[in-house]
Amino acid sequence: MRENVPKLYIVIPCYNEEEILHQSMDILKGKLQRLVQTGKVTSDSRIVCVDDGSKDGTWDIIAERADKDDIFLGLRFSRNYGHQNAILAGMLESRKAADCVVTIDADLQQDVEALDDFLAKYMEGCDVVYGVRNDRDTDKAGKKFTAEAFYKLMKFLGVDMLPNSADYRLLSSKALEALSEYPESNLFLRGLIPTMGFKSDIVYFDVKDRTGGQSKYTLSKMMGLALNGITSMSTRPLELIVVIGLFFCLLALVIFIISMIDWARGMVVKGWTTTVALLCLIGGMNLLTNGLVGLYVGKSYIEIKHRPRYIIDQAIWDGNDK
Ligand code: UDP
Ligand code: MG
């Protein structure tokens, strides 16, 4: 149980969100003010907008409002580093000032009213509170299917992850401090945070349609995220290669025995189709598995460089332009 009213920082990653950012900032500000009035958070709580290298007027909106209104803080990346890094930057930069941080998407598809539940769980003593969506009815059929398949695959690969958990979650400053110790470049927060432990709980929320603009998650961004999810959390695909290899060795043995019997009977030309088919199959498998190993080698190469995960070009933080 916690007793002191927490100082809350809400982090919103923004990438080309000029169409809806004003509206989202208004809604969040209204919500935060209500939380202050009802004594759920302190009056020096803040909303941190992280501009992930937008090409439109997103930063102008953030800068203008952060200059005028103390409740808004702004960070601007030097280029597009992706959603996960934007969330990470917002959280890490806030961790010294805030008692807890909630991350939420700029389109506010996630219900802001759930913030009360997040804070209630925090007051109960949780350091991590996961947001889990009630259903996927608002998703397009394709997205729903791929998301479900991905969560099933992750489970099969042995990754401890809450199905349908979103990057809508609360972390206490203690959990954020722990998160800052993870140096990985291939970031997949949904998989990583459960591995940290801590007292945690779940809050269920509804997902609405985007009110403006397009989804900023292009197919290639989505595939990149899924790939990072797999390669950063599990090495099971590499183990599976060994299993597949073993299977083909056994198959080869069986075929060898059959061929020897055929040879002994003087029926040597039979089996041409099998030979060609197996040749193709094994050739294909070879390329695929080598590629998979290469994928991990590539990811390790990126990790080993220890490059910064994001670079902040500009910051408007507590009235100062850093
Ligand atoms: N986003 C980001 N960087 C990117 C892509 C997206 O910061 O490269 C942000 C985006 O502005 C939004 C959040 O990530 O706040 C989720 O994106 P979106 O709503 O487009 O994804 P969807 O809800 O369609 O999965
Ligand atoms: Mg969205």
For ligand 1, the distance from its centroid to the CA atom of residue 189, given in whole angstroms, is: 14
Task: Pick from 10, 15, 138, 167 the residue to mutate for probing ligand 1's pocket: most ligand atoms within 8 Å of its CB.
Answer: 15
* Long-range contacts of 146-151, Cβ-Cβ distance < 8 Å, separation of 24 or more: 146/222, 150/226, 150/229
Q: Which ligand is nearest to the CA of 103?
A: 1
pLDDT greater than 60 at residue 322: no
For ligand 1, the distance from its centroid to the CA atom of residue 143, given in whole angstroms, is: 14
pLDDT greater than 70 at residue 39: yes
For residue 251, the model assigns a pLDDT of 83
For residue 294, the model assigns a pLDDT of 84
Which alpha helices (DSSP H) does 105-218 contain, by range?
Answer: 115-123, 141-156, 173-179, 189-192
Averaged pLDDT for residues 295-301: 86
Nearest to 229 by CA among 179, 187, 166: 187
The reply to whether ligand 1 has any atom less than 6 angstroms from the CB of 82 is yes
For ligand 2, the distance from its centroid to the CA atom of residue 256, given in whole angstroms, is: 56
Tens digit of each residue's pLDDT (9 = 90 or more) over 13-27: 999 999 999 999 999
**How far separated are the first and last CA of the chain, in Å rounded?**
37
Q: Are 211 and 27 in contact (CB under 8 A)?
A: no
Helix (H) or strand (E) holding 93: helix 83-94
193-228 burial string, b = 16+ CB within 10 Å, else e? bbeeeeebbebebebeebeeeeebeeeeeeeebbeb
Domains in the chain: boundaries: 8-233+309-321, 236-305
For residue 90, the model assigns a pLDDT of 96
The reply to whether ligand 1 has any atom less than 6 angstroms from the CB of 14 is yes
Give the CATH H-level superfamily of domain 8-233+309-321.
Answer: Spore Coat Polysaccharide Biosynthesis Protein SpsA; Chain A (3.90.550.10)
Ligand 1 atom with least separation from CA of 50: 7
The reply to whether ligand 1 has any atom less than 6 angstroms from the CB of 167 is no
Averaged pLDDT for residues 164-186: 92
The residue whose C-alpha atom lies closest to atom 2 belonging to ligand 1 is 83
Q: Choose between 210 and 151: higher pLDDT.
A: 151
The reply to whether ligand 1 has any atom less than 6 angstroms from the CB of 211 is no
For residue 302, the model assigns a pLDDT of 86
For residue 259, the model assigns a pLDDT of 80
Tokens standing for residue 22: 């004003």
Averaged pLDDT for residues 254-264: 82
Tokens standing for residue 85: 């890094």
Q: Choose between 38 and 258: higher pLDDT.
A: 38
Q: Which ligand is nearest to the CA of 139?
A: 1
Tokens standing for residue 80: 């597009």
pTM confidence score = 0.83
Ligand 1 atom with least separation from CA of 222: 25
Q: Are 72 and 46 in contact (CB under 8 A)?
A: yes
The reply to whether ligand 1 has any atom less than 6 angstroms from the CB of 13 is yes
Report the alpha-carbon distance of residue 274 to residue 292 in Å, rounded: 26
Ligand 1 atom with least separation from CA of 12: 15
The residue whose C-alpha atom lies closest to atom 22 belonging to ligand 1 is 215
For ligand 1, the distance from its centroid to the CA atom of residue 15, given in whole angstroms, is: 6
Q: Are 16 and 101 in contact (CB under 8 A)?
A: no
The mean predicted confidence, pLDDT, of the chain is: 88
For residue 291, the model assigns a pLDDT of 81
Averaged pLDDT for residues 304-319: 89
Averaged pLDDT for residues 197-219: 86
